[in-house]
Amino acid sequence: MSLLVEYVRQFGRFQRNARLYLISNALSGMTIGIIQVLYNLYLVSLGYKTDFVGLLLFMTTVGAGVAIFPAGLCIDRFGGKAILIWASVVIGVAGAGQFLFRQPLFLLLSGLIAGVAGAFILVVNAPFLTRNSSQEERSLLFSFNIVVTLATTVLGELLGGALPVWLRANAWLMGPLPGWLGVALVSQPEARAYQLSLLFAGIIAIPSFLPLFLLREESQARSATTSLVREQVPWRVRMEVVFQRWSEIDARALIVNPITVLVVVQMLVGFGAGLFIPYFNLYFVHYLGASPALFGSIDGGANALNAVLTLVAPLFVLRIGRVNTIVATRAGSIPILLVIGLVTFLPLLAPLYLLRQGLMDMGNGVFQAFSMETVSRKHRGVANSTYQAAFYIANGLATPLGGLLITRSGYAIVFLSAVVLYTCSVALLWGRFGRGVGERLVASVREHDVTEGEPHQHRPQAIVAES
């Protein structure tokens, strides 16, 4: 209990922008939870199969892949406030299209647009939190951001599991519709119950916009100076410098470069996750026979455990270091995933599902902070775009493949393939950054940023340093 109280106190010590960003994420978390539980089930209730579900998820990832590098450049140049607001608006419009349109072309198009806007939200996260935190509190802030989102996502998943049951039991909601409303809403009772639940999820996300408007504009002095310098240098000269730098790159140094290694790690994890994670709700509901409400409770429990373990992760960092924490927790989830892929006994798989997700995601906040701290301050936006692109492009390629494999060969093959990919990612992360290498790298980058003029922020130490 004292640990939770200390975390609450730490929230008040975060910078104003960081606090507002956390509040916005918390307010949108219920929407995320409802959509995670119901959207694939809604598509299947419309008559689509897992191969189309995979194609739709692939289109969303294509949109994210197209926009992810421009998003990183925009964040480095313009800051986070305007990007967060406008990207959230576009996601809201595209989301409404995904819930109201039922034709394949419109579903795919709205998914593509949602992916483009989602790329900006995704890429802005790590650089925004890094800019609005001190070195001492950064690991805690990243973990805290995950926890507050997970906490409300749990509520959304529980609500998402129960809403369709309640809506379908109300005859006046399931009855004949007036002509103007029948165009938008589905006629089948099961599909309409899912659709109304998803529309409700969109409505309750509206309050999350308010904290974004209250954000303070980030200082753009560095960006303005950089832009002025770029404008004064002729385009041909800039290109010559780029080609010269590429010609001087040592291939071996590029392979062992921290960014390259982290990109490969993200690709392996993204491809493995894309094979099975988008289909977990279908696996439990249509294959194992669980009800949507039961799966909502299971998934909510998994996120609740994830939130608790994420709070504990900074304490592990204190004792065994960043890289050891990430490697140990992710490695611990792999045998559990193997059991999930080989066993089909629901009473056993339900708790294993909780434990697998909790262990795999426990160190995500630590990993995000570590991936930012291995890069100099001025390149963090582009670096994060690269990390996210690696994950989501691999994820997007794997998702339709996973849908096809499930349709033709069942679920076991996608789980086993993910086990192999996750094992390779953990081995690579440990091989490059283990044995204290990662900690020394972070210290080196921090020293470089100080010499380059990054201000050192003297703020109250976070709980990870006090405990």
Q: 128: burial class by Cβ within 10 Å (0-12, 13-18, 19+)?
A: buried
- Predicted local confidence at residue 452, as pLDDT: 59
> Worst-scoring range by mean pLDDT, 300-304, 372-376, 431-435?
372-376
* Digit-coded pLDDT (tens) for 33-52: 899 888 988 998 888 888 88
* Digit-coded pLDDT (tens) for 100-130: 888 899 999 999 999 899 888 887 877 788 7
Averaged pLDDT of the chain: 80
SS3 220: coil
- Cβ-contact 341, 412 below 8 angstroms: yes
* Digit-coded pLDDT (tens) for 386-415: 787 788 788 878 988 998 898 888 899 999
pLDDT for residue 417 is more than 90: yes
- Res. 2 pLDDT band, cuts 50 70 90: low
- Res. 453 pLDDT band, cuts 50 70 90: low
Query: Which amino acid belongs to residue 301?
Result: G
Structure letter (DSSP) for residue 132: T
- Predicted local confidence at residue 465, as pLDDT: 32
Q: Which helix (H) or strand (E) holds 423?
A: helix 412-433
CA distances from 265 to 171, 268, 330, 389, 428 (A): 51, 5, 12, 12, 7
* Digit-coded pLDDT (tens) for 326-346: 999 999 999 999 999 888 889
> Worst-scoring range by mean pLDDT, 17-21, 114-118, 249-253, 411-415?
249-253
Residues 6+ positions from 347 with CB-CB distance below 8 Å: none
Query: Whole-angstrom Cα distance, residue 77 to residue 412?
Result: 46
Query: Which amino acid belongs to residue 247?
Result: S
Closest CA to 401 of 54, 52, 40, 41: 54
In this structure, what are the phi and psi dihedrals at residue 322, rounded to the nearest 5 degrees? Answer: -65, -55
Structure letter (DSSP) for residue 215: P
- Predicted local confidence at residue 200, as pLDDT: 92
Please report the sign of the dihedral spanned by the C-alpha atoms of residue 357, residue 359, residue 362, residue 363: negative
- Cβ-contact 442, 339 below 8 angstroms: no
Interior angle at CA 6, CA 5 and CA 11, nearest 5: 100
SS3 439: helix
Closest CA to 341 of 286, 400, 398, 277: 277
* Digit-coded pLDDT (tens) for 347-369: 999 999 999 999 998 888 888 88
- Predicted local confidence at residue 11, as pLDDT: 77
Query: Whole-angstrom Cα distance, residue 393 to residue 387?
Result: 10
Closest CA to 57 of 119, 112, 120: 112
* Digit-coded pLDDT (tens) for 197-225: 999 999 999 999 899 888 887 554 344 43
**CATH fold group of domain 2-215+224-232+240-466:** Growth Hormone; Chain: A; (1.20.1250)
- Number of other CB atoms surrounding residue 172 within 10 Å: 5
Residue ranges per structural domain of the chain: 2-215+224-232+240-466
